[in-house]
């Protein structure tokens, strides 16, 4: 009689986790690239001299809406790929027996740096930020300090992009509405 969940099933599920994780990461950056291009196109169309203030206001509302929608998609993708990564870590440790010395050998374990005695119920991102990857600036031979490296992440960069876009388009909306009302009187 075959086991209900054996090594082959664990290997297949781990591969599926890697594939799905990769697809989620690829899609989040594809969406971000399309967002930047779309916002550039919209800005170039709206900020021409001959565009009416009411159209600028309408375009700014549309841009705010897109920004909020895509930021929500980004947050959901982040939650999904984190859940997938935690399942991958579980497979690497429970079924493959990665412990102590080999702990960082797995695809997901290396990325997420989860300690061996990690309690998923009380999970925070603190463990991941305690010993972050330390990137180099292009002109420097020394990596960034651990203190600064804790804040270097794709997620923070994308949050700043969407927040900045939202602030920009909301300011454009406020100015457009103000000028539109001023021109009506």
Average pLDDT, the chain: 88
Neighbouring-strand partners of residue 136: 143
Neighbouring-strand partners of residue 143: 136
pTM: 0.83
Which has more pLDDT, 173 or 110? 173
Average pLDDT over residues 30-41: 97
Identify the residue whose tokens are 């781990």.
14
Of the pLDDT bands very low, low, confident and very high (cuts 50, 70, 90), residue 55 is very high
Of the pLDDT bands very low, low, confident and very high (cuts 50, 70, 90), residue 130 is low
**Those residues with Cβ within 8 angstroms of residue 114's Cβ, 6 or more apart along the chain or in another chain:** 86, 89, 127, 128
Q: What pLDDT shows up at residue 12?
A: 94
Q: Would you say 46 and 60 are in contact if contact means Cβ atoms under 8 Å apart?
A: yes
CA distance 75 to 5: 32
- pLDDT beyond 80 at 64: yes
Average pLDDT over residues 39-50: 95
pLDDT tens, position by position, 103-123:
777 888 878 776 666 555 555
CA distance 179 to 174: 9
């Amino acid at each position: 009689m075959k086991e209900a969940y054996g090594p082959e099933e664990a290997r297949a599920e781990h591969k599926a986790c890697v594939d799905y994780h990769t697809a989620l990461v690829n899609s989040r950056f594809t969406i971000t690239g399309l967002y930047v291009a779309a916002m550039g196109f919209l800005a170039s169309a709206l900020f021409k001299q001959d565009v009416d203030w009411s159209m600028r206001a309408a375009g700014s509302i549309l841009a705010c809406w897109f920004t909020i929608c895509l930021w929500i998609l980004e947050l959901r993708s982040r939650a999904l790929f984190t859940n997938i990564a935690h399942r991958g870590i579980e497979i690497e440790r429970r079924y493959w027996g990665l412990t102590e010395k080999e702990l960082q050998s797995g695809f997901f374990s290396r990325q997420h740096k989860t300690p061996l005695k990690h309690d998923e119920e009380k999970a925070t991102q603190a463990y991941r930020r305690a010993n972050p990857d330390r990137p180099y600036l292009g002109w420097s031979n020394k990596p960034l300090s651990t203190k600064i490296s804790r804040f270097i992440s794709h997620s923070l960069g994308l949050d700043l992009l969407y927040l900045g876009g939202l602030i920009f388009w909301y300011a454009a909306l406020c100015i457009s509405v103000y000028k539109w009302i001023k021109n009506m009187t």
